Chain A
Amino acid sequence: MALSGLDIFKLLPKTNCGDCAVPTCLAFAMKLAQKKAELSECPHASDEAKATLGAAGTPPIRLVKIGGANALEVGNETVMFRHEKTFFHQTGIAIELRSSDGTESNRVKIQAMENLTVERVGEQLTADLFFVTFDSENGEVFLDTLTVIKELSTKGVILNCQDLTVLKQGLEILKENRPAIYCEAKPAEKIYSLAKTFEASLVLTARSFEDLEARSNAAVTADLNALILNLEAAGFGKKLQHNTLLRRSALQQNFKPFGYPLLTRIKGATPVEILAEASLQICKYGSIVVLPEYDQALLYTLFTLRQTIYTDPQKPIQVDPKVYAIGDPTPDSPVFVTTNFSLTYFMVSGEIENSGVSAHLVVTDAEGQSVLTAWAAGKFDGEKIAKFIKDIQFEQQVKTRKIIIPGLVAQISGDLEESLPGWEVIVGCQEASDIPSFIKSVELT
Chain B
Amino acid sequence: MAFEIPRETNTGSIAEITLGATSEQGGTRSHTLTLGGSSSLPFHFFEGEQPHPPVVAMEVFDSVPTKYPEPLLDYYRDVIDNPGEMAKKCVEEYGAELISVRLEGTHPEKGNKSVDEAVEIVQKVLSSVSVPLIFTGPSHFEKNNEVMKKVCEVTAGENCLINYVETDNYKTIAAACIAYGHTLVAQSPIDVNLAKQLNILLTDMNFPADKIVMDPLTGTLGYGLEYTYSIMERIRTDGLAGDKMLAFPMLVTPGYESFNVKEARAPQKDYPDWGDLAQRGIYWETATAVSLLVAGAELLILYHPQSVEIIKSKIAEIFAAEGGE
Contacts and interface: CB of A to CB of B under 8 A. Distances in A.
B226 interface: yes
Most buried by B among A236, A302, A307, A311: A236
Contact of A279 (B5, B261, B287): B287
B283 interface: yes
B318 A235 contact: yes
Contacts of B319: 237
Contact of B3 (A210, A299, A313): A210
Interface stretch (B22-30, B128-136, B168-176, B270-278): B270-278
Nearest to B279: A297
B216 interface: no
Given A236-B314, A343-B223, A272 B276 contact: no
B234 A83 contact: yes
Given A272-B306, A308-B225, A283 B275 contact: no
Interface in A213-228: 213
A301 interface: yes
Interface stretch (A153-161, A238-246, A401-409, A414-422): A238-246
A54 B280 CA distance: 49
A145 B77 CA distance: 47
A297 B287 contact: no
The dominant DSSP class at the A interface is: helix
A239 to B, nearest CB: 10
A300 interface: yes
A304 B219 CA distance: 13
Nearest to B311: A276
Contact of B286 (A83, A213, A275): A275
Contacts of A236: 314, 317-318
A325 interface: no
Interface stretch (B39-47, B119-127, B177-185, B201-209): B39-47
A296 B321 contact: no
14 contacts: A81-B233, A81-B234, A240-B318, A252-B6, A270-B310, A271-B279, A272-B309, A296-B276, A297-B277, A301-B284, A305-B225, A317-B226, A346-B224, A354-B66
Interface of B: 1-6, 41-46, 66-67, 109, 139, 219, 221-227, 229-230, 233-234, 237, 260-263, 273-277, 279-280, 282-284, 286-287, 290-291, 294-295, 306-307, 309-311, 313-314, 317-322
Interface of A: 81-83, 116-118, 120, 209-210, 213, 234-238, 240-241, 244-245, 248-249, 252-253, 255, 257-258, 270-273, 275-276, 279-280, 282-284, 295-302, 304-305, 307-309, 311, 313, 317, 343, 346, 350, 354, 433, 436-437
